[in-house]
Amino acid sequence: MSRWEVRPLGPASLLWQYAGDRRMSFVGLSAGLLQLMHPAIGAGVAEHSAFFTEPWKRIERSFPEIIGVIYDADPEATGRRVRNLHTHIEGVDHLGRQYRALKPETFWWAHATFQWAVETLIDRFTWRRLDASARQTLYLDGVEWYRRYGVTMRPVPSDHGAFVAAWQKTCSETLEMTPAADRAVDMALHFSGALPPSFPSWAATFGRPVVIPVLRLCTIGGLPGVVRERFGIPWSIEDEVRYRALEVWVREAWRFVPPSARRNPRAVPAQGLSAVAEAG
């Protein structure tokens, strides 16, 4: 029997409270960039999607399904659907290396970035502070999230401490500046294209001077320091100060956001917002 038992996820769990939180937008771009830096994921995105011509489409298409593995009425069915969408994603990358999206270590890294994003959201953009026990509980909830894809659990670290070690090792040794990652970094540093389609029209028209610097701060500032240093991604003391100020602003401003605007629609259960735990 697997050491990973089925684990209920509901409104009382930290994962349930925060994975569908709109503040995931402040960490999601960094998570996506960390995925693109994985050689196999970067190659798969470059060869099997329209990332270079429609970079926002991947996010809009993928993220609701991924959090549906937590919130849907039949989350395991959603997980299998997400897994099956990756069965044909394989090939040879620009350096001649074979890749396959469902290779256990590759598929796990894609999930690990989301698990990291939820924990980072809590640490950076909320007033909640997690002790070691809460981090372990959140990690186990994330393992249950992964179990629902119906793939091998072999790459899954045994506990939160092992996850942190595996995370740091991958950031330090495995990630590289793939063509897809290079394109994403260039977009973040020299953004001139369209804003994400989910942004309201007023933001696209009048908010670019504010929105674009925030996108840059969130994308580059959210990366682990070792990743920025390895690849020479510019980040100054002034950038760090601005990013810290953004964190405080989001924490303070969140209490003024109406409850109806705080959740991704996929994360609102059928019984309505009254079932959603208030996350600080």
The predicted structure's pLDDT at residue 1: 32
| Burial grade of 17 (CB within 10 A; 0-12, 13-18, 19 or more) | buried
Structural domain contains residue 3: no
Residue closest to 74 by CA, chosen among 239, 277, 270, 232: 270
User: Who contacts 140 (Cβ-Cβ below 8 Å, separation ≥6)?
Assistant: 7
Residue 91 dihedral angles phi and psi, to the nearest 5°: 160, -150
List the beta strands (DSSP E) in 88-197.
90-92, 98-100
Longest dimension (CA), the chain: 57
Structural domain contains residue 272: no
Q: What CA–CA distances, in Å, run from 96 to 92, 103, 266?
A: 5, 17, 39
The predicted structure's pLDDT at residue 196: 67
Measured distance CA(156)–CA(162) in Å, rounded:
9
Question: Cα–chain-centroid distance for residue 233?
Answer: 20
User: Who contacts 50 (Cβ-Cβ below 8 Å, separation ≥6)?
Assistant: 57
The predicted structure's pLDDT at residue 191: 75
CA angle, 153 as apex, 16 and 100 as ends, to 5°?
A: 105
Residue closest to 107 by CA, chosen among 141, 136, 66: 66
Structural domain boundaries enclosing 53? 14-258
Give me the residues of the chain with pLDDT under 50, please: 1, 271
User: Who contacts 5 (Cβ-Cβ below 8 Å, separation ≥6)?
Assistant: none
Structural domain contains residue 268: no
Residue carrying structure tokens 């072999």: 154
Half-sphere exposure of 104 (CA within 13 A, CB side): 9
Residue closest to 55 by CA, chosen among 181, 199, 223: 181
Residue closest to 33 by CA, chosen among 15, 54, 66, 58: 58
> What is the count of structural domains for the chain?
1
Structural domain contains residue 213: yes
Structural domain contains residue 198: yes
Structural domain contains residue 267: no
Half-sphere exposure of 195 (CA within 13 A, CB side): 18
| Burial grade of 275 (CB within 10 A; 0-12, 13-18, 19 or more) | exposed
Structural domain contains residue 209: yes
Structural domain contains residue 31: yes
Residue type at position 176: E
- Polymer length of the chain: 280
- 215, 59 contact by CB (below 8 A): no
Measured distance CA(73)–CA(94) in Å, rounded:
40
